[in-house]
Structure 1
Amino acid sequence: MNSKKLVLRGVVAALALYGVVAQAEPLKANVIHWWTSGGESAAIRQFADAYNKAGGQWVDNAVAGADQARSTAINRIVGGDPPTAAQFNTSKQFHDLIDQGLLNNVDDVAAKENWNGVFPQSIIDSIKVKGHYYAAPVDIHMPAWFFYSKPVFQKAGIAGEPKSYDEFIADLGKLKTAGVIPLALGGQPWQEKITFDAVLADVGGPDLYMKVYRDRDMNAVKSDAFKKVLASFKRLHDFVDPGSPGRNWNDATALVISGKAGVQIMGDWAKGEFSAANQSAGKDFGCFPGFGPHSPYLVAGDVFVFPKTDNPTTIKAQNLLATVMTSPAAQVAFSAKKGSIPIRPDVDGSSLDICAKEGIAIMKDKSRQLPNPEMLLSPDTQGALIDVVTNFWNKNQSVDDAQKAFASALKS
C-alpha cells in the first residue's frame, strides 16, 4: 500500500473518531428556574439527572424568587444571551414573548409524544398558541391545598378535617385556644392572593369565580355574593400571627412542620418541605384540597419555554429537555419530590403520597377543575388584583371599598 493510501486511511479513521466524539458530546442546556428551597431543589434535580442520563449536560441557573427568575430570563432573551430554557408558570406570563417571536416551538416533540391527546385541556390552552406548542408543562399544582399538623390538631381537640368554611373557622378558633398559631400565612402579596382565590372558589363557588376572572363580569363583582367572599377572606386575618407580614412560604410551612402552627393554605409544592423534614402525609401531617370534600380544584403549574435560536445544537437540547421533562419516569420522580402531580394521567402514581393520589383522582373529574387566575387574566390585570387583595388584607379598608377597588382593577 503506497503512502498516499495510508495517509488517506488515517484521515478517514481520524474523521470517524472525531464523529464519534462529536456525537458523544453532551447537549449543554442552561436552564433558568426559581426552585431554590430544600424540597424544590431536590425536585429539579430529578429533571437534571434524567437529562444528563439522556445525553445532555444540565447547567443549573437557579434564581431565588419567581419574579426575579422571570426577569432574568426575559432580560437575557432580549439582550441576546438567551438560556436554553426558562421557567414560567402555566399562565399567560410568556405569551408576550410568543407574540414578539422570541420563543421556539416544540411541535415535533408534542406530536411525537401525543401531547394533544395526553395533557389536560386547561394546560394545552396555556401552552398551545396559534396552533403551536411553545412550552413544556412539567407539573400540575393546586395552589389551595390545606396542610395541617396532625399532633397539633389532636392537641386542639380537632377530631377530623373540616367539611365547610364555617367548620374551618371553628377549627381555627380551637387552635387559637390551644395556644398555637392557627393559620400559618406567609404575608407576601402572592400568598395573600392564593388565600383569597381559595375563598372565592369555595365560598363564592365556581360560577362566580369564572364570571369574575374569565368573563370580568362587573355585575358579579358588585354582587352580594362577592361581598360575602371578601368578608370571609378578611375573617381569616383574626387567626394569623404578628410575624406573618413578609414571611416566605416555606418558613410558614416550617411552622406547621415544627408544631408551632396548626394549618397552612398553600400550593401542593409545600409537601416538598414536609418530605425534606422526613414527615409523611397521613402520618405526621394531613392534607385536604379546599374547605370541603367537593371543593373546586384550582389547576396551576409550571412550564419551561425555549428561547428563539437558530443554532441546531441548541434546538436539539431544547427538544431533548422537552422530551425528558414530560417523560413518565421523570414526571413521577419529580412529583414525588415537588409535591405536585404529574402532567400526564397515564403514569403509574402508586408510589406517590396520599395527597398526590387524591389530586390525581380529582383531576379525572372535569367538573371540579377550575383554571387558576393567571390562565384567564393578563399579568398586568393579575398584578393589579394582587395589589387590591393585599391592600384589603393589610389595611383597615371596608368591604365596600375593597369591592370597588377590585372592580376598578379588573377593568384595567
Structure 2
Amino acid sequence: MSFPSSLRYLCAAVALCAGASLWAGEVEVLHYWTSGGEAKSVAELKGMMALRGHSWKDFTVTGGGGQNAMAVLKQRVLAGNAPAAANIKGPAIQEWAELNVLTSLDAMASFERWDEVLPKVVADQMKYKGRYVAVPVNVHRVNWLWANSAVLKKAGVASLPKTYDEFFAAADKIKAAGFVPVAHGGQDWQDFTVFETVVLGVGGAAFYDKALVKLDRAALASDEMRKSLEVFRRIKAYTDDKSPGRDWNVTTEMVINGKAGFQFMGDWAKGEFLAVGQTPGKDFTCSAAPGTEKAYTFNVDSFAMFQLKSWEAQKAQGYLAYLLMGKDFQEKFNLRKGSIPVRLNMPMDKFDECAKTSSKDFVTTSASGTLVPSVAHGMALSSSQQASMRSAVSEFWNNDKLTVNETLSKLLAVSAPKQK
C-alpha cells in the first residue's frame, strides 16, 4: 500500500474520462454472484468493463463453498499470483490487509469522495490503518420481520408488532388460527440472525454494540442479555417441529404460501416474495423487528483489491473499483439483489417500498449512530469468535435443558481472548 500504488490509482481515476484502449487489461475476480439477478449483474459489469477494452476472468473454485475458495485464494496470493479482486467482507478485510497483500485505493476514494458518500461505520470497515483497501457494493438490512398479510388478517392481527409483548400476542392469535406463528430454519446462522435481532430489540443499538461487537464482559453478563436469551427461547415455542436443518429460502416459502405468519430474516428474503409476483404492502409486509425501528443491522458485500504487478492489470482493477462504487452499477445491481445501494442519498424511485424504507432508515441510523454491523453475517467479529458465538447460541436454541446462566458463561468465554 505504498504511495506509488496510490499514485497509479490517481492516474487511473484521471484516465477514466479518456477511454483510451491503451489502458486495457484483465481483471480476475473471485465472487459468488452466480444465480438470478446476481448473475445478470455480473454480465452487465463485464460488459461495462469491455466497453473500456478490459477483459474479465472469473476466479472459480468448486466444492466447499467459500471456505475452499478462501483457502485457494490464500495459496495464490502468498505465491505472488493474486487476482484483482475478491468478495471479502467485515473483519476478514483487515485480516488480509495485515498480510500486506491489498492495494491502497485512497487516490480513487479521494477522487470520487467516498468518505462523503459512505457512512463512517461502513467506510471504516473498508479501510486498513486509515486507507481504503476494499470497495462496498450494497447494504442488506438484517433486522427485518416479514409477514404474510392474509395470515395476519385471518388471525385477527390488526397491526405489525412494535414490541415483543405485541409480537407474542400476535403469535398466539396466529397459532390459534391454525398457522405456524414463526417460520424458522434451524441452522446456526439462522438461529444467530434471530438472536442478534432480539438483542437489538431488547437492549438497543448501544447495548448491542457493547455486547456483541465489542464483547464487553459486563454487557454479556447483564440483565439485558439475560432477558434477550429468555425472549429468544420463547420465540422457539412458536416454530414448527420440522424447523431443524431447513434452508432459509424454504422457510421463506412457508410465509409466501400462507403456512406461517412471521419470519425473522434479512432483506434477501424479499427476493423470494418478489420472484413469485407478490407485492410488498399487499401480499406481504416488511417491518423492522420488534424494538428495532430506530436501529439497523447491516450486512455489506464488498471486494478487497489485491496488489498486482502488471500496469495494465492495475488500470483495469482501478476501473473495476470505479464501476463498483458508481451510481449506475449500485442502482442496477441492488434492484436485482433485493439490497440497497451503499452510497448515501441515492435516488430510490425505481425501488420497492421495502427498499425505500430500508434506505431511509439506513441514512437516519448512520446519522444517529444506531447503524451497527451484523454479527451473524460476518460483519463484526473474527471468524473464530463468530463461530464460538454461533455455537453457544445455537446450542441454547436446540437444547431446552441448557440454562440461561450456562449460556451466559459460554458467551463470556468468547470474550476472554480480548481481555488484557
TM-score strictly above 0.5: yes
Task: Return 319-328 or 58-67, whichever deviates more.
Answer: 58-67
Residue in 1 aligned with 2:374?
Answer: 372
Which consecutive residues of structure 2, in runs of 5 or more, have no partner in the other structure? 1-19
Q: Any conservation in 2 of the 1:185–1:264 contact (CA below 8 Å)?
A: yes
Partner of 1:356: 355
Inter-CA distance 25–318: structure 2 relative to 1 (3 Å threshold): closer
Structure 1 residues 24 and 57, CA gap change in structure 2 (3 angstroms): same
Q: Does 1:211 align with 2:210?
A: yes
Aligned pair partner of 1:33 in 31, 34, 46: 31
Cα distance in structure 2, aligned partners of 1:23 and 1:54: 6
* Number of the residue aligned with 1:87: 87
Change (3 A) 1:231 1:349: same
2:27 matches 1:23: no
CA pair 65-243 structure 1, distance change in 2 beyond 3 A: farther
Q: Say if 2:398 is the partner of 1:394.
A: yes
Kindly state the Cα deviation for residue 353 of structure 1 after the two structures are TM-superposed: 0.9
Residue by residue, what CA displacement relative to the aligned partner does 1:154-187 show, whole Å, maximum 9, x if unpaired? 2322222111112112222222233333222222
40-49 or 272-281, which moves further after superposition?
A: 40-49
Amino acid at match of 2:410: A
Q: Give the alignment's TM-score, normalised by structure 1.
A: 0.87
Letter in 2 for 1:260: K
- Equivalent positions of 1:147-166 (< 5 A) are 147-166=146-165
Aligned counterparts, 1:279-358, within 5 A: 279-292=278-291, 294-358=293-357
- The residue matched to 2:91 in structure 1 has which SS? coil
Deviates more, 1:57-66 or 1:213-222: 57-66
Task: Return closer, same or farther for 1:184/1:55 CA change in 2, 3 Å cut-off.
Answer: farther
Tell me, yes or no, if the aligned pair for 2:204 and 2:292 is still in contact at 8 Å: no
Bigger mean CA deviation after superposition, 252-261 or 233-242:
252-261
Q: Distance between the aligned counterparts of 1:254 and 1:49, measured in 2? A: 34
What per-residue deviation string (whole Å, max 9, x for no partner) do you get for residues 46-95 of structure 1? 54444444544333456684445444433443455433221122x10121
Q: Which residue of 2 aligns with 1:57?
A: 55
* Aligned-partner Cα distance in 2 for 1:82–1:293: 41
Using the alignment, how far apart are the partners of 1:159 and 1:92 within structure 2? 42
Structure of larger gyration radius: 1
Calculate the aligned-residue CA RMSD, in Å: 2.4
The aligned amino acid for 1:31 is: V
Change (3 A) 1:310 1:281: same
User: Secondary structure in 1 aligned to 2:300?
Assistant: strand
Runs (5+) with no aligned partner, structure 1: 1-21
**Identity, % of aligned pairs?**
35
Q: Which of 367, 382, 387 is the matching residue for 2:386?
A: 382
Give the match's secondary structure for 1:93.
helix
TM-score by length of 2: 0.85
Query: What secondary structure is seen at the aligned counterpart in 2 of 1:305?
Result: strand
Matched residue type, 1:195: V
Q: Paired residues, what number? A: 390
Q: How does 1:108-119 map to 2 (within 5 A)?
A: 108-119=107-118
CA distance in 2: counterparts of 1:334 and 1:120, whole angstroms: 20
| Distance across 2 between alignment mates of 1:60 and 1:278 | 32
**1:359-381, Cα deviation, whole Å (9 max, x unpaired):** 11112222232233344432221
Q: Aligned residue for 2:416?
A: 411
Residue 205 of structure 2 contacts residue 371 of structure 2 at CA under 8 Å; is this kept in 1? no
Equivalent AA in structure 2 for residue 361 of structure 1? K
Is the CA contact (8 Å cut-off) linking 1:168 and 1:291 kept in structure 2?
yes
Give the 5 Å matches for 1:65-214: 65-89=65-89, 91-214=90-213
- Per-residue CA deviations over 1:189-234 (Å, capped at 9, x if unaligned) read 1121111110001112223212213443222211222111111111
